[in-house]
């Protein structure tokens, strides 16, 4: 038996000796994490805590022979893993862990930041922690504050990739050809994009929800008569943003912001008396308004649009679907353009274009 | 594509003639620069002889509008043909400009 073997044997014995304390630390850490996640309203996919098995510990000691002198040199003898829905939450929970525990920065690693600009792969945040006395202290068992433990933080998608990559890499016992590794890493890049998009969607939905809640808080939209003030407040909630972005995407156009207050008169003529009416109009006709824009802009290279386009097309579609015909459109263009002989021709052209769209298929002309 | 600017008292008339496409936009942007200095005036963008306008042309009109409005001027687009009027409708620019 060489010196490394003796050291390993000593660590295994220490492991058996300290197991009850580690078990106790596991319960404390798990409770602390769960209660703080709840207090901070952080929803996670899963949280679990495990103690390294003797088999796994022996394997590690063999693999890294001579590196470890005592049990507490092994920083992941106790490990907690938190899987989040969103990538933003990894950072929020990391901040929470920083507040709670003493972080051993020298041994902690953010794998997300280790990648080169052109490489993708395992993404996870690993913090090596100790329990601070200020948080939990038992004079009968001071070792609880000395044992290092690891917290791994990653998203569900990062976890799925890591788990599958681990499964493929270790199960077969043969070296994985470079081509398959490249394909796995390509998937990691794709999942990173998906993670970012999920976070962005959540942020945008929350913003929208807050704006609408604020609007509703100020007064029920069906009781808000359509006027300059209420319409301006309503537009603050950006109810047309999604439609305008979809339209802009047709030609990768930039969106030029335009005041929409001139539409109040038009909306009133179309029968909108309250903000609730406007909201319903937008919701009901936005898809058809998009189809009209796609039909008109799709074959052009016009890469600039006004932010009024979404609402304008909603009005056009509404007029056509309500049977307002060319005369209705001419009135709309007169209101938008100012009265002009050409508006009749424009109304006719728009009407003819709209006739071929799906939403007009059941209409009688 | 040619652009000429005439002054009539407190009114400036920019006459556009030809096709205001991407190729013509650089020169047109130079030609309209004097308009961007005008303060508290009426600026007419006369499009009687303008045959076509592209996104680059729309951006030039937009620059004139932005600069002029900031300097207290009023911008009117005049005599656009049906094709250009349709471009203004398709892009929503009808809501940006006063059109006669």
**pLDDT tens across B44-97, in order?**
999 999 999 999 999 999 999 999 999 999 999 999 998 999 899 999 998 888
Nearest neighbour of A338 by CB, restricted to B58, B91, B99:
B99
Residue A259, in any domain of the structure: yes
Q: Which residues of chain B have a CB within 8 Å of the CB of A350?
A: 89
Q: Is the pLDDT of residue A365 over 60?
A: no
Q: Are A313 and A263 in contact (CB under 8 A)?
A: no
Domain boundary among A173, A200, A233: A173
Q: Which residues of B touch A (CB under 8 A)?
A: 54-55, 58-59, 62, 80-82, 85-96, 98-100
Q: What is the pLDDT of residues A249-287, one digit of tens each?
A: 999 999 999 999 989 999 999 999 999 999 999 999 999
Q: What whole-number distance in Å separates Cα of residue A97 and Cα of residue A42?
A: 13
Taking contacts as CB-CB distances below 8 angstroms, the residues of chain B near A300 are 90
Instruction: Reply yes or no on whether the pLDDT at A113 is more than 80.
Output: no
Find the closest chain B residue to A296 by CA distance.
B90
* B-interface mutation test, from A235, A250, A256, most B Cβ less than 10 A away: A256
Is A151 within 8 Å of A97 (Cβ atoms)? yes
Mean pLDDT lowest among A55-59, A311-315, B55-59: A55-59
CA distance A308 to chain B (A): 6
Whether residues B90 and A260 touch (CB distance < 8 A) is answered with no
Residue A62 structural domain = 3-173
Lowest mean per-residue pLDDT among A137-146, A230-239, A281-290: A230-239
What is the domain range of residue B91? 2-99
Q: Give the total number of structural domains in chain A.
A: 2
- In the listed set A173, A194, A228, which residue is the last one of a domain according to the structure? A173
Q: Which of A6-20, A290-304, A348-362 has the least mean pLDDT? A: A348-362
Instruction: Tell me what pLDDT residue A339 has.
Output: 83
Residues of B in contact with A349 (CB under 8 A): 82, 86
Region of A166 on the Ramachandran plot (φ > 0 left; ψ -120 to 50 alpha; else beta): alpha
> With an 8 Å Cβ cutoff, are B54 and A302 in contact?
yes
Q: What pLDDT score was predicted for residue A210?
A: 77
Q: Residue A153 CA to chain centroid, in angstroms?
A: 16
Regarding whether A235 and A166 lie in a shared domain, the answer is: no
Window 66-95 of A, Cβ < 8 Å to B: none
3-class secondary-structure state, position A178: helix
> Which CATH number covers residue B52?
3.30.750.24
Q: Predicted ipTM?
A: 0.89
pLDDT the model gives residue A279: 92
pLDDT of residue B98: 87
Mean pLDDT of A205-232: 79
CA distance B4 to A349: 32
Report chain A residues whose CB lies below 8 A from the CB of B90. Answer: 293, 296-297, 300, 302, 309
Beta-strand relationship, A125-130 and A149-155:
antiparallel
Alpha carbons within 13 A on the beta-carbon side of A99: 11
Judge whether B74 and B43 are in contact, CB under 8 Å: yes
Look at residue A365 and tell me if it is in a domain. Answer: no
Hey, how many other C-beta atoms are within 10 angstroms of the C-beta on A180?
A: 11
pTM above 0.80, yes or no: no
Task: Give the pLDDT score at A205.
Answer: 82
CA distance A108 to A154: 14
* Any domain includes A193: no
């Amino acid at each position: 038996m060489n010196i490394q073997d003796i050291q390993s044997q000593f660590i295994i014995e220490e492991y058996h000796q300290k197991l009850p304390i580690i078990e106790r630390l596991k319960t404390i850490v798990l409770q602390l994490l769960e209660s703080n996640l709840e207090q901070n309203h952080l929803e996670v996919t899963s949280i679990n805590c495990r103690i390294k098995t003797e088999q796994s510990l022996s394997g590690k000691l063999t693999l890294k022979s001579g590196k470890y002198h005592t049990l507490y040199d092994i920083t992941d003898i106790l490990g907690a893993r938190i899987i989040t829905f969103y990538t933003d939450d990894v950072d929020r929970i990391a901040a929470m862990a920083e507040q709670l525990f003493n972080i051993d920065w020298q041994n902690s690693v953010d794998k997300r930041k280790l990648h080169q600009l052109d490489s993708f792969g395992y993404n996870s945040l690993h913090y090596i922690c100790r329990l601070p006395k200020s948080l939990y202290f038992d004079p009968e068992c001071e070792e609880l504050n000395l044992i290092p433990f690891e917290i791994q933080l990653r998203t569900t998608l990062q976890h799925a990739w890591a788990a599958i990559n681990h499964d493929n890499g270790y199960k077969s016992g043969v070296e994985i050809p470079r081509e398959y590794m490249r394909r796995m890493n390509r998937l990691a890049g794709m999942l990173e994009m998906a993670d970012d998009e999920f976070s962005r969607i959540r942020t945008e939905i929350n913003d929208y929800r807050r704006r609408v809640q604020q609007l509703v808080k100020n007064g029920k939209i069906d009781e808000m008569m359509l006027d300059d003030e209420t319409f301006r407040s309503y537009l603050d909630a950006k109810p047309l943003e999604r439609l305008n972005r979809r339209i802009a995407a047709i030609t990768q156009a930039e969106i030029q912001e335009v005041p929409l207050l001139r539409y109040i008169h038009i909306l009133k003529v179309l029968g909108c008396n309250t903000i609730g009416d406007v909201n319903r109009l937008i919701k009901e006709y936005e898809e058809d308004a998009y189809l009209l824009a796609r039909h008109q802009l799709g074959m052009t290279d016009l890469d600039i649009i006004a932010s009024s386009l979404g609402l304008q097309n909603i009005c056009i579609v509404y007029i056509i679907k309500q049977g307002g015909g060319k005369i209705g459109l001419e009135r709309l263009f007169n209101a938008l353009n100012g009265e002009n002989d050409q508006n009749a021709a424009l109304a006719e052209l728009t009407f003819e274009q709209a006739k071929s769209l799906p939403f007009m298929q059941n209409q009688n002309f | 594509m040619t652009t000429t600017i005439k002054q009539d008292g407190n009114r400036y008339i920019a006459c556009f003639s030809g096709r205001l496409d991407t190729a013509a936009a650089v020169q047109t942007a130079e030609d309209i620069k004097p308009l961007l200095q005008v303060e508290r005036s009426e600026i007419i963008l006369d499009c009687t002889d303008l045959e076509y306008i592209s996104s680059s042309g729309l951006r030039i009109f937009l620059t004139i509008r932005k600069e002029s409005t900031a300097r207290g001027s009023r911008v009117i687009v005049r005599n656009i043909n049906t094709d250009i009027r349709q471009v203004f409708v398709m892009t929503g620019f009808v809501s940006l400009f006063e059109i006669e």
